[in-house]
Amino acid sequence: MPRIKLYIACSLDGYIARSDGSIDWLPDPGQNSDTDYGYSEFYASIGTVLMGRKTYEQVLGFGVPWPYGDKKTYVFTRQPGKEGPLPLEKNTEFVSGDIGKFVRQLQENTEEDIWLVGGSQIIKVFLEQDLLQDLIIFVIPVILGGGIPMFDRIGKEVGLRLVGTERYEGGVVRVEYEVVE
């Protein structure tokens, strides 16, 4: 069965964005190193992309062509039909309702791994409902002092097993965990 993987960056103090959603503090891979932090290899390994509506809006706001057009993308929204003027990008579908049921059916009907992009609220739901198998976290050497936390009051303990670590030029550290059931 395909695995659902959270592949995300956070500050040393655990924030995935500033309070206003800005991610201007993230390093540009082209600036400091010759690596893309394994992104190309990871992206090639997944077949489906999942994200919350706020993350979808943020990606649209980058002012670049939709980066996930070659992958089926599902955007979770609590207010079906109220996406307003949001464009529906190539291979993208809005989903509402029972997230756990939808994701379990998706896992049964796909062969490639699934990427949970974010954000904070959808990560919470996935952890609460035991839908996430792998966490690949890039810790950026900055303390933001506030913002949108990666793990926001999940309400339960989640056991993890360290799978690997890697240090990159500029101080970025990749930490990979497997969720322990």
The answer to whether the predicted template modeling score (pTM) of the entire model surpasses 0.85 is: yes
pLDDT > 50? residue 39: yes
pLDDT value at position 90?
86
Give how many domains the chain has, as a whole number. Answer: 1
pLDDT value at position 30?
55
Write the pLDDT tens digit of every residue in 78-137: 876 655 667 778 899 999 989 999 999 999 999 999 999 999 999 999 999 999 999 999
pLDDT value at position 49?
97
Question: Domain range spanning residue 89?
Answer: 4-24+31-36+45-180
| CATH label of the domain that carries residue 53 | 3.40.430.10
pLDDT value at position 83?
55
Burial class of residue 148 in the structure, from the number of CB atoms within 10 Å of its CB (0-12 exposed, 13-18 middle, 19+ buried): buried
Choose the most confident range, by mean pLDDT, from 5-9, 51-55, 94-98: 5-9
pLDDT > 60? residue 31: no
pLDDT value at position 27?
85
- pLDDT band of residue 37 (cuts 50, 70, 90) is confident
Residue among 28, 45, 25, 9 nearest 118 (CA) = 9
pLDDT value at position 181?
79
